[in-house]
């Protein structure tokens, strides 16, 4: 009879036996993924124990839903639930491999363009072994179809299913209690998503993220002007006076910002086989009129490039999850650099060689006050002109220069490069530099695309000089975020000439370049500690633009009174004295782990409170759209209806502006265009 093997009941031929098998297989594969696909940083017996058991409560609960039904449906519901959870696990494995983070509801709902562009590199990201995530489902289906496991149609008592559900909730509570004891404030403070998955599990993380997303939606609806009081108090208390040596030194000059995609500080002066990866950038970094910051950190989270843009142009942090530009860029009120400068007589324009909707730029830039947005629709596109995420940098700079020639001066222009983006692909005709030899296929081509970017910058610099813009502009270069994620530790160690890297090394690896050049500016390498949040007040002081009544969380990098606290989005931080990663504190100058004295503990607590407060208040500004309640003196709120980035309308507006304000490069050259020199083989 079915249900009997050698006279004994086969437990797998019962509903509950099959249920336990499904739970076991799912928990095992989840734990394997935790250990092999994610970098969760579980340390010590408590964290390792929680990591091992955290798939169990959610699995008991979700698969237990099937126990409330009867007959064959019970089995197939378990299979379906397993499939849904496995797809979620699979998607996170792929996403994490690219972004070193977990999927959020905001990313899934609002970042369709991010996902579409991720598809361009999916062949590089995905591995055949990833599909082993679905192996248990295949095995279970085969066992059922071949009757190795026979369906038990006898109904379970509903109270039994209820007991299973209550047990699952009880285990969740116990798990949370242990997790919160090890990491207090796990769900109430601003932490990285890795913490939640490490302590509670991937499914619990998803539930918490959904809760957070819904909470954020209601936050805006319930926000009011009084919520700004604590924000203003914090900002005003921490606002620093400018350095008189630099204030107004670039007054009235154009601002040209070059966004160096995925470009890290270690590339400056780095050599492969004795050859400089970035000779043009190295020279620019050392120029006597370039202020170069070598302790400047990226502070991005999931929003990556969009987080960098948010900080650089608003002095507001990105969100703990998702992208602020995607979630809030369309509706929110901002006090962004383009709006502030356009109200001071500047023409403002952004240049990007991909679709306008990527990171919701076509809407966010209107909220920020960009008068022009030259996206992919403005450029001549051929099949070999693009790679990965858009126009190759040499072709992009060449075509963008034609519009730059036409902008009435003074102007504020941002050019976003793209070629140095994962998966660091470049055709052979453009690859003239050796790859590194770490053995990591993701890492090794990185220097090749960085070298191509450097060549493109060199050509653009030649154009700036021949057009006259070089002498009359503040030229800013910055790296937006890391190019090589923490998941590639062995390769990072080789790049840095180390046997291995620890959390301190990885924190220092988050440095990105910031270079500010202007003719007549006293340059040099500045060792002050800062991050992307600090750029906007620095720029405004250099331009001599008073912005001391705006809401900005950064501090002028050139001020002698800045506190030099660099906050990371997960709540960790770096100062000239301390580097705090998780619960470990290092001496910044040496990387030595510190055993804290009582006095040092007080200092760390004070710094942590500052960082936590700063991050939470910035979140409050964005999530509650608090700037709609406050208009600084001398500033006019942006009316998004004033902007239209469609190709025909943009060209017409640009033509009209040139007639009204004949100060463009083209006008000053009596309509004669500047010849742009490039060795891009595609254009020959």
User: What long-range pairs does 125-132 form, CB within 8 A, spacing at least 24?
Assistant: 125/94, 125/97, 125/98, 125/423, 126/94, 130/90, 130/93, 130/94, 131/90, 132/29
Alpha-carbon distance values, 415 to 358, 399, 442, 459, 528 (Å)? 15, 11, 26, 14, 26
Please state, in angstroms and rounded to a whole number, the distance separating the CA atoms of residues 109 and 209. Answer: 13
Alpha-carbon distance values, 620 to 107, 215, 218, 228, 316 (Å)? 20, 12, 12, 9, 10
CB within 8 Å of 217: residues ≥ 6 apart: none
Query: Residue 284: how many CA atoms within 13 Å on its side-chain side?
Result: 26
CB crowding 141-179: b at 16 or more within 10 Å, else e: eeebeeeebbbbeeebeeeebeebeeebeebbeebbebb
Give the three-state DSSP class for 59: helix
CB within 8 Å of 655: residues ≥ 6 apart: none
Q: Which of 418, 414, 455 is nearest to 433 (CA)?
A: 455
The DSSP bridge pattern shows strands 578-581 and 584-587 to be: antiparallel
Give residue 132's Cα distance to chain centre.
29
The DSSP bridge pattern shows strands 524-526 and 275-276 to be: unpaired
Q: Which residues are catalytic?
A: 305
Rg (CA), the chain: 27
Give residue 564's Cα distance to chain centre.
22
Specify binding-site residues: 261, 305, 421, 480-481
Tokens of residue 16, six digits:
């509950």
Q: CB count, 10 Å around CB of 561?
A: 11
Specify binding-site residues for substrate: 421
The DSSP bridge pattern shows strands 473-479 and 411-416 to be: unpaired
Alpha-carbon distance values, 227 to 223, 331, 362, 415, 636 (Å)? 7, 18, 29, 35, 21
Specify binding-site residues for Mn(2+): 261, 305, 480-481
* DSSP classification of residue 87: H
Q: Which of 43, 424, 29, 431 is nearest to 199 (CA)?
A: 43
Give residue 153's Cα distance to chain centre.
50
Please state, in angstroms and rounded to a whole number, the distance separating the CA atoms of residues 82 and 282. Answer: 53
Q: Do 442 and 124 touch, CB atoms closer than 8 A?
A: yes
Q: Which of 55, 20, 25 is nearest to 204 (CA)?
A: 55
Give residue 182's Cα distance to chain centre.
27
Give the three-state DSSP class for 361: helix
**What value, to the nearest 5°, has the Cα angle with vertex 409 and ends 405 and 414?**
70
Please state, in angstroms and rounded to a whole number, the distance separating the CA atoms of residues 106 and 210. Answer: 9
Q: What is the DSSP string of 388-432?
A: TTEE-HHHHHHHHHHHHTTSPSSEEEEEE--SS-TT----GGG--
């Amino acid at each position: 009879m079915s249900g009997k093997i050698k006279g004994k009941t086969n437990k797998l031929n019962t509903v509950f036996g099959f249920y336990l098998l499904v739970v076991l297989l799912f928990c095992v594969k989840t734990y394997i993924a935790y250990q092999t696909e994610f970098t969760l940083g579980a340390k010590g017996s408590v964290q390792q124990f929680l990591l091992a058991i955290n798939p169990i409560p959610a699995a008991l609960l979700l698969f237990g839903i099937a126990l409330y039904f009867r007959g064959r449906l019970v089995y197939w519901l378990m299979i379906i639930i397993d499939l849904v959870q496995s797809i979620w696990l699979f998607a996170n494995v792929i996403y994490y491999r690219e972004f070193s983070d977990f999927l959020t509801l905001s990313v899934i709902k609002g970042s369709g363009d991010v996902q579409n562009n991720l598809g361009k590199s999916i062949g590089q990201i995905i591995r055949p072994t990833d599909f082993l995530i679905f192996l248990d489902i295949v095995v279970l289906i085969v066992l059922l179809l071949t009757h190795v496991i026979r369906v038990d149609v006898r109904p379970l008592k509903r109270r039994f299913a209820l007991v299973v559900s209550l047990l699952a909730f009880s285990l969740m509570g116990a798990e949370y209690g242990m997790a919160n004891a090890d990491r207090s404030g796990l769900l109430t403070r601003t932490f990285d998503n890795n913490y939640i998955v490490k302590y509670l599990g991937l499914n619990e993380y998803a539930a918490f993220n959904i809760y957070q997303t819904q909470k954020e939606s209601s936050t805006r609806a319930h926000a009011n002007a009084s919520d700004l009081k604590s924000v203003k108090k914090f900002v005003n208390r921490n606002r620093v006076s400018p350095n008189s040596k630099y204030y107004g030194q670039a007054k009235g000059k154009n601002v040209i910002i070059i966004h160096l995609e995925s470009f890290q500080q270690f590339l400056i002066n780095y050599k492969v086989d004795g050859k400089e990866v970035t000779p043009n950038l190295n020279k620019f970094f050392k120029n006597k009129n370039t202020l170069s910051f070598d302790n400047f950190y990226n502070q991005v989270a999931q929003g990556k490039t969009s987080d960098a843009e948010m900080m650089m142009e608003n002095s507001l942090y990105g969100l703990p999850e998702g992208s602020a530009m995607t979630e809030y860029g369309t509706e929110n009120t901002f006090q962004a650099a383009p709006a502030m400068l356009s109200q001071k007589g500047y023409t403002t324009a952004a240049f990007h060689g991909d679709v306008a909707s990527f990171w919701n730029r076509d809407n966010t830039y209107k909220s920020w006050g960009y008068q022009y947005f030259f996206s992919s629709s403005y450029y001549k596109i051929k099949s070999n002109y693009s790679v990965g995420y858009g126009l190759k940098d040499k072709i992009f700079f060449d075509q963008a220069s034609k519009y730059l020639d036409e902008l009435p001066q003074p102007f504020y222009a941002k050019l976003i490069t793209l070629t140095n983006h994962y998966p660091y692909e470049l055709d052979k005709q453009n690859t003239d530099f050796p790859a590194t030899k770490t053995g990591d296929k993701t890492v090794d081509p990185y220097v090749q695309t960085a070298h191509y970017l450097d060549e493109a910058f060199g050509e653009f610099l030649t154009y700036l000089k021949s057009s006259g813009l070089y002498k009359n502009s503040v030229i800013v270069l910055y790296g937006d975020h890391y190019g090589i994620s923490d998941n590639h530790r062995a390769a990072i160690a080789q790049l840095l000439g180390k046997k291995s890297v620890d959390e301190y090394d990885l924190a220092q690896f988050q440095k990105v370049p910031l270079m500010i050049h202007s003719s007549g500016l006293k340059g040099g390498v500045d060792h002050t500690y800062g991050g992307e949040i600090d750029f906007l007040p620095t720029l405004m002081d250099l331009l001599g633009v008073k912005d001391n009544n705006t809401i900005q969380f950064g501090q002028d990098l050139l001020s002698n009174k800045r506190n030099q606290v660099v906050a990371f989005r997960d709540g960790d931080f770096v100062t000239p004295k301390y580097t705090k990663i998780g619960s470990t504190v290092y001496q910044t100058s040496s990387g030595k782990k510190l055993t804290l004295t009582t006095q040092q503990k007080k200092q760390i607590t004070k710094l942590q409170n500052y960082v936590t407060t700063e991050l939470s208040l910035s979140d409050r500004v964005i999530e509650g759209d608090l700037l709609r309640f406050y208009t600084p003196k001398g500033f006019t709120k942006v009316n998004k209806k004033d902007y239209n980035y469609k190709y025909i309308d943009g060209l017409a507006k640009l033509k009209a502006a040139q007639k009204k304000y004949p100060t463009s490069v083209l006008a000053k050259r009596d309509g004669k265009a500047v010849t742009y020199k490039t060795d891009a083989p595609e254009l020959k």
